[in-house]
Structure formats: structure tokens, C-alpha cells
Structure 1
Amino acid sequence: MPDARLADVARSLEPLIRRHEDELERGRGLPRELVDAMYDQGVFSAFVPRELGGREVDLLEWLDMIEELSRINGSVGWNAFINAGVTPLPAATMRRILARDRWITAGNLARVAGVARRVDGGYRVSGRWPFASGASFATYLFGVSLLQGDDGALATDPATGAPVPVGAVFPAAQVTVHDTWDGLGLRGTSSVDFEVADAFVPDEMTTLDLLAGPYPGRLFRGPFFILMGHCAHAVGVARGAIDAFVDLVQRTQARPARGSRRQLRLGQQQAHQVAVARAESLVQSARLFARDAAARGWEDAIDNDVVDYHLRVLMAQSMIHCARAAKEAVELLFERAGTSAVHRGQPLERCYRDIVTAAQHSLVTEASYETIGQYYLTRGLPGGPRIDLTSTVIMPPHPQRS
């Protein structure tokens, strides 16, 4: 596996990404040449353990890479983050897979969209999962189902009464990919639906936790580390928008004889100068918050199998804050740029569409602050904190029982 620093890997891919930008938008997925290059550089094996030949990244270096790729192109950064090679299966199973296949993963772990029936040696699974970014080029796809009893009713956990989830890993040959992705932004992410119908899944390809693996490294302490990619992606797209706004201003000022009166004054009015300063402040402060939360969580994972709960709250909080702050910054610049930014193919226009779309993800909407607020309001109370575990973005385990 290449040992270049991850941010340098991102920069080395920039010429190829720039060459394929139009194709990313039109084709609504990564071109094969770009998939191959990202795979060869280890982008899709960031969360594969070293013992299996993966990168097993340093978290902060990985965030650098996601941020840089997202600055270059929001769709590429999104796929690098989402399709980072999470490895939930045991080493013996993975070695058999890696002996014959690439390990490029995709799926939708937030949506329980299938049913699983217990059969001899495994499960029979049927379901359809939406928004599976990267499904068109993934070699293995993840989906969560609920266990169904022989009578057709959902099985429940005797201890809790809750439905029983079954996480399954499907080879690409076992699934049907539906070309459903035609989004406003992140158009090149291939965030399509995939479906299986009565697919047999052996026990070795199932797990209770599709976002963590049975490996000793601190990268595998839980799902919160990979989810910090939301922070880096949002900051990177916003950084791309700031760069595009500054470039637009400089190009406009370099040809003063052309354009409308408003365009000719672009960058020279107080409103434009305040906008870029505010955008920089929003993005830089959000980045610092996220990096501090990530660094503290990463350090805590050195000695603890379960990262401190307050640090997991901070990571979830920073994830939401980065998305909201980046969206605010890009919207501010897009508005100030006027009609100069509205044409397809303008970098600021694409950044605008990308961040608006990314900020719609269920983990980073404004409403996701709800359980963060519950935590701060109740953590000092007897028996606190008290949060709604049915809708929280804070990753388990939780100190409260229910």
C-alpha cells in the first residue's frame, strides 16, 4: 500500500479529478479511471486493517485527505469518505475475500430496509436500500435488516423486546443496482438504490455492527471516527467555494471593461469583503472545533475500548456544526457573487449545490442538534444525561438504559 501522506495522495489525484469533472456531473458517478486511481492510492482502504494490507489510517491525516478531496470536488470527497473500506468481518473471512476481490464497500446503514429469515448456515435476506453512495462501483454492499420469525412476524430480543437487526454484507454480483440518483448536488456520488431478493447470506458475512470491526486498532473503537468525515467533507466543499469566489473576483477585476455594473464592482464593495471574511471565519472556526473533538477522541481511544461519552457528544456536535457553518458560508458567497455564479460549470455553483445536498443528510440537519441539547440540559441531573435514544446522533453505548 502506498505510504505517501494522505493529503499528498489527494493532491496527486487533482489533475485526474479536474479532467473528469464534467463526466462526474453528467454520468452521476465516478468514472472507472478515477475509481481505479483512488483504489490504487488506498483511498478506498482507509479503514481496512494493516494486517489485511489496508491503510488503517491515522484519523487526523484521513480528515486532511477528505477535506482536500472535497475542496477539489465534493462528489469525490463524499465517495472517499463514505466508501472508506469499513471492515466489519473477521480476518479469516476478509482474507478469503481479498484473495479474489477488491474490497470497495457501499451501503446504507441508517436505513433498516430489509427482512432476514434464519436458515441453515445463514440467512435469506430481501430488501431495498436507498442512497447507497458508491453502489455502482462497490464490490461489496452493506444492508441492515430485521429478523423475521418462521411465522412471518418480526423476531424480538427477549431481554429488551426490541426487533433484532441483522447486518449483512453482499457481493456486488448478488445485488441489483437501481439507477435512481439524480440529485441537486453531489451528482457524481452514485447514491443509488440497491436491492436483494431472497439472497442467501452465510453466517460469516453477517454482523451485529457494520461500522466497526473485530480488530485491535483504535480506528475500530466505534463508528464515530468514520462519521467525522462529515466534518472534513463540509469544510472542504466550503474551502472550495471560498477559493472559487476569490478567483471569480480576481478574474472579474482583471477584465474591467466587460460585464454588468454589478459584476465590475465584484469584490470592491464592503458587502463582498465582509462576506468573504465571514465565510472564512465560519469555516476556520468550524474546522478547529471538529479537529479538536477528533483529536481528543482519537487520543482517548489509545487507552480505552469505549471512547468517553462527552467526547462522543462533541464529535457528533462538531459534525452537525461543520455542515451548518459550511452551508451558511457557501450560501453567503453564492448570494454575493450574483449571476456570475449561477451558470452550470461554475465552481461556486457546484459547491453551492454540493453543500446544500450534503447538509440534508439526516445526521447533520439542524434538527439533529436536538439530542445534543438534551445532553447539555440534563447531564448534571441525577440519573442524567437523559436523551431520546430513538433519534440521537450520539454514537452508543449510552450511559442511560433506555
Structure 2
Amino acid sequence: MDSTRLPSCGRNHTRRHRATTAQPELWLPWLPCLNQSAISPERSRRSLSTASLRRSSLSPTMPISSSSERVSCSVPVSIVIASVSITNPNECPQKAQTNWPQLPDRTGHDGEVLTDAVNHVRSELATMADNGLLQAASPPEVRPVDISYLEQCEVVIRTAQNDASAAWVLMVHYQASAYARFLSPAAANKVCSGVLAAAGTAVATAIPRAGGGWRLSGEWPLASGIWYADHMLTQFDSPNGRYVAFVPTCQLGIPQDWAAAGLWATGSVTVTAAAVDLAPELCAPVDSEELLTYDLPIRRLGPGLVVCGAASAAVDAIAGHASEPLPGQRRLISGAALERLGRCYAENCAARAWLYEVARRASREVSEAEQSLCEANAYRAAVAATLTVVQLAGTEALDPRSRFTQTHADVVAAGAHAALQPGQYSDAFRRLLADAREDPQP
């Protein structure tokens, strides 16, 4: 089967609204998972000796999922949102106070949802902790899942600097926990059950490459069930009880004439499975009735994107804004703030692009030419992710004195339509970040 084009699940979706606008290509995350036999003290010690990731460059790190309208790859996917009804903007869903995945009351399901996938990752984490592999290599906050998306990224990145294997398992733990939060029990069991466990049967190692980055050895299956679960809606609990989700406006049935940036509303969102490409041999199709409808705060920030909850809150927090802006109020966000937010998205998108390209090559060693192609693809994904960060902030949120905007446009023009030579992608992005650091503070 050609892994670059998965067959449609072919389910009847006439009960749901089908988006008629042009569908953007969205990144499908590839989520490997190590099994217990793949994690040994010997491997851990080898991992501890690996070179630290240079976060100021665009060396691929461990992937954590985020969806972006601008990020594209060779596997198209559609997310169909049925409707959004604006209700009381003051009502925001509250975060479930638990250390492990639990469906909130608003889903209509009670109790914990611990699928085989979540149990598998929990077992791996417990085994690593019992063997002392997490204590020396990982930050102290690796166990809780009730931390924000950006905090999760930071934890995984810092863990990866010391122990790549622990970072892989920790990343999958966060992913599986997030899925269990918003999937119904039936949907979780059909979509996630056994997918991570199946991926964990393959033994593989992330090996540092000369000059930065990673290559993989071993056999890694493509788990489309995790792709599907991620692109239903990837969301993480945030400290303030709001949710993170990135949804293109063309896929939302919302009024396009909302007030200026800053208007909050609560929308009832239903996601269908009909338009999502699935691999039937990897996961069974999910009926629309089994997918839940839930409420989450939605905010429109500038042209092109609607972000949910904590995504816009993160922009405010990173930029040093503690309060919500008034409708139409202009916010100035420094290049340094955009750098801090953009680095997280860009590095992770670049890592996913890199790892996907390597995985497609049937787990064999790649040639220098293929590595160059992977680097170019990773760079284009990173540029697109950084452009999304600018969109998240809103076009009027940038300091007019900032050179970040022009520098970013130059990098996009250089990397968006042509494959770069080895090393060019990191040099260009370093220049982008250097200019961002020199921006005058607003």
C-alpha cells in the first residue's frame, strides 16, 4: 500500500455539513512508541551521551502535535466541523483535576477512559521510573499530564537533550492522554486501541546525525489511527481551564463577521470522521454518532485563523499581556516573544517533517541526497509553522518597527517553493531568529 495516500474510510457522512471551500493540506503526525524491550539501561546510557539539541537552530527534536493551516505534507486530510453556536462567552469549560486522562462531564461519559494505548504508555513510564531511567534524565514534572501544551513541549525538549528514548515515550504519553480526554470510550477504543502498542513492537533508535538532527534505525510502522485521532481536534488542557486547538476558518461553520480580535464565544463543535482518510487495516472507521459534541471557547485572531482558548492565551502570556485586549485594541508583540513561541512550533513541525520522510523510506539508511531532501522538507514545514505564529498574533499585533516581518517574508520566499541545499535551511532560520532578537521592545 502506498503510505503517501491512505484510502478513504467510505462512511456515509450526509448527516454532517461538508466544507465546500478549498481544503488545506494538514500535517499528519507520525507517532512512534517504544516498547519495554526497546528501553534498556544500556540504551539509556548511550542516549545520555548524545549531543544536546541546539534549540537556537532548527535541528529536529521530538515531535509534539499541533495543527496548522499552512503546514503541508503529502498526505491530505480533511476535518469537517458541523456547526458552532455562540452562547454565553463567560462560560468556559473547567479542566478535569486528575493525574490521568478523564473525560469531562460535558462529553456525556463518566469515569476514566484508559484505552490499551494509554495503559501501554503508562506501563512504559512506570517501568522506566522503576529502573531509575527517568530520574536522572528527565525534569521533575514529567509525570503530570495536566500541564499546558507549551509546557509539555518544553518538558519533552529538555528530556530529549539528555535521553532520546525517554523523550519518545513521554511524548506519546502526553499524546495518548490528550486523545483520551476528548474521545468517547467507543471512539477511543476503535481509534487508539492497540495502535501505540503495535507501534511499540518495533525496536528502533534515534541516532544523532553529524551537523545536527536525527536519523532512525529500526522498523517503524505508520499508525494512521493516531493520525486520525490527532486531526479530529488536537487539544491539551491549559492551566486556566481553556483548551488549545488549531482549526482553519474555512472548515468552521461560524459567522465570518465576528467583531475585532478579542471577541470570545463558546461554540458547540462536532467533528465527523467521514472525510478523514483511514487505513482500514490499522484502525476501524468510527461512526459519526460515536464522536462527541462538546463546548470549548473559540476566539478569532486576525485573518485566516480561529484559535481555541489557550492558543491565544499563550500569545498574551508570552508577550507579557496578562489581561484580555478590548475589541479592536492593538497589541504590540516583540520579535523576542514571537521567537519564543515560534521556536516551539517550528522545531516540532520540522521534526515531524523530518521523521515522516525518514519513515517513508522503509526504515533503511538514507543517502546524503535523501537527507538533503528531508532537511528541505523540514525547513519548509518550519517556515510555515512560524508564519502561523505570526497569524496567531494577528497581522496588526506586530510592532511596525520590527524587522521580523520582512525577514520572515524573505525566509518564506527562499524556502517555500524550492528545495534548499544542505545547511541552508538552518542558516536562514538562524538569521530569522537573530533579527527577531534585535527587535525593539514595544
Question: Shorter-chain-normalised TM-score: which range?
Answer: 0.3 to 0.5
Q: Which structure would you say has the larger Rg? A: 1
Normalising to structure 1: TM-score of the pair? 0.32
Normalising to structure 2: TM-score of the pair? 0.30
- Normalized per residue, the structure richer in helix is 1
- Normalized per residue, the structure richer in strand is 1
